[in-house]
Amino acid sequence: MKAAFIKEHGNIEKLIVGALNAPKIAANEVLIETKYAALNHIDLFLINGWPGLNLKMPHVLGSDGSGIIKEVGSEVTNFQEGDRVSVNPGTSCGKCHMCLSGKQVFCKDFSIMGEYGWGTFAQYFKVPEVNVLKLPSSFTLDKAAAAPLTFLTAYRMLKTQARMSQGDIVFIHGAGGGVSSAAIQIAKYFSGTVIATTSNQEKMRKAKDIGADFVINYKETPNYDKYVYEKLTNKQGVDIVIDSIGKATFQTSLRLLRLGGRLIIPGSTTGPLAEIDIRHIFWKHLEIKGSSMGNQNEFREVMDLIFKGYLDPIIDKTFDFDDIVKAENYLNEGKQFGKVLVKFP
């Protein structure tokens, strides 16, 4: 099969498109013929590598994908060949106490597809039956690939971790990212007020189109925390901040929060090491929580909202699979608003 993989860590040019053997499925797994796969920043982190990451090479990347079931394992009961499907990219053992109590993200074997096992950047990928979701007949395969990782992450952040309620003011850094564009829509679905930042007029327009109440160009207004505090929140601050940026914005996120505010961190695209003024935390009784992916119930809840049209995965650009290196460079440059996809022939 054709696949995109690495044989060693380095820059994006280390990503190779070539031939590998198709994966063999276990009794509880399905084999999916890939139609679309979506890019995520974890692709870039995996290509670069990090201390302690020991991958068996060659390693196929890719965390999101959609397609047609090609083969089902002997113990699979809910799917058959030919079904159009999407998948939950978060895998776990499915048998431990954490998995059985709905806390799959705390399973010692929890992983994101493409992180340690092979992912979706291939003509075929395999996944446990429990992670598979059949698509409504009218739902497109490109949207099915664009939705899972980002919408699942954003849904858990706001509903479970931040305990968002009606009327909350939510501040979202970097509106153009996949998680951020999903979070804007979900926060509006939960009847919140959304303040977002982005880098240019076109992205500002798009953020407003999907529901943001206020959008700030952080390049033109570098002290936007003061503007939000004085002009948009009547010197109160915001209830929730979603910060996937990390080092560049962490201290600003603390300043943005009101008394009892909640900071939710799903990533750190500008780096993981940040200096903080700890006084903000104890003076304002802040909560700081990490969030990554979600459980199977959260996945099905948010995908149901997508299928019913309450939420809409935003696709910025679709590349041919053979141009996946160009696609990863495009993602790395931060030009996108929403998801970047690759399409398989």
Percent of the chain with pLDDT over 90: 90
* Backbone phi and psi for residue 325, each to the nearest 5 degrees, phi listed first: -65, -40
CA neighbours closer than 13 Å in the CB half-sphere of residue 312:
9
Instruction: Supply 176's token pair.
Output: 């153009």
Q: Which residue has the tokens 């690495």?
A: 6
Secondary structure (3-state) at 62: coil
Judge whether residue 334 has pLDDT over 90. Answer: no
Q: CA gyration radius for the chain?
A: 20
Judge whether residue 274 has pLDDT over 90. Answer: no
Strand partners, 64: 38
Secondary structure (3-state) at 3: strand
Task: For the chain, count helices (H), then strands (E).
Answer: 11, 18
Of all helices (H) and strands (E), which one includes residue 233? none
Report yes or no: 87 and 133 within 8 Å, Cβ to Cβ: yes
* Backbone phi and psi for residue 11, each to the nearest 5 degrees, phi listed first: -85, 180
User: Can you give the pLDDT at residue 31?
Assistant: 98
Single-letter amino acid, residue 16: I
What number is the average pLDDT over the span 12-38? 97
Closest by Cα among 37, 35, 50, 177 to 114: 37
User: Can you give the pLDDT at residue 132?
Assistant: 97
State the maximum Cα–Cα separation within the chain, in Å, rounded to a whole number: 62
Beta 193-198 vs 132-134: how paired, if at all?
A: unpaired
CB neighbourhood size of 117 (10 A): 17
Q: In whole angstroms, what is the distance from residue 82 CA to residue 89 CA?
A: 20
User: Can you give the pLDDT at residue 275?
Assistant: 86
User: Domains of the chain: which residue ranges?
Assistant: 2-147+313-343, 151-290
What number is the average pLDDT over the span 137-164? 97
Sign of the Cα torsion 65, 89, 301, 246 reads negative
Instruction: Supply 160's token pair.
Output: 């479970």
Give per-residue pLDDT as tens, 95-128. 999 999 989 999 999 999 999 999 999 999 999 9
Judge whether residue 269 has pLDDT over 90. Answer: no
Q: In whole angstroms, what is the distance from residue 7 CA to residue 15 CA?
A: 8
Q: In whole angstroms, what is the distance from residue 70 CA to residue 78 CA?
A: 14
Give per-residue pLDDT as tens, 169-184. 999 999 888 899 999 9
Strand partners, 309: none
Give per-residue pLDDT as tens, 124-150. 999 999 999 999 999 999 999 999 999
CATH match for 151-290 among 3.40.50.720, 3.10.450.350, 3.40.50.300, 3.40.50.2000: 3.40.50.720
Single-letter amino acid, residue 208: K
Report yes or no: 157 and 266 within 8 Å, Cβ to Cβ: yes
Residue 318 to residues 146, 314, 336: CA-CA distances in angstroms?
10, 11, 11
User: Can you give the pLDDT at residue 203?
Assistant: 92
Residue-wise burial string across 174-187, b where 16 or more C-beta atoms lie within 10 A, e elsewhere: bbbbbbbbbbbbbb
Residue 192 to residues 187, 189, 210: CA-CA distances in angstroms?
5, 7, 13
Residues 6+ apart with CB under 8 A from 32: 65, 67, 68, 69, 70, 85, 87, 124, 125, 126, 127, 132
Q: In whole angstroms, what is the distance from residue 81 CA to residue 335 CA?
A: 38
Q: In whole angstroms, what is the distance from residue 323 CA to residue 339 CA?
A: 16
What number is the average pLDDT over the span 331-344? 94
- Read off the pTM: 0.93
Instruction: Supply 92's token pair.
Output: 């776990």
CB-based burial label for 244 (10 Å; 0-12, 13-18, 19+): buried
**151-290: same fold as 2-147+313-343?**
no
How is domain 2-147+313-343 classified at the architecture level of CATH? Alpha-Beta Complex (3.90)
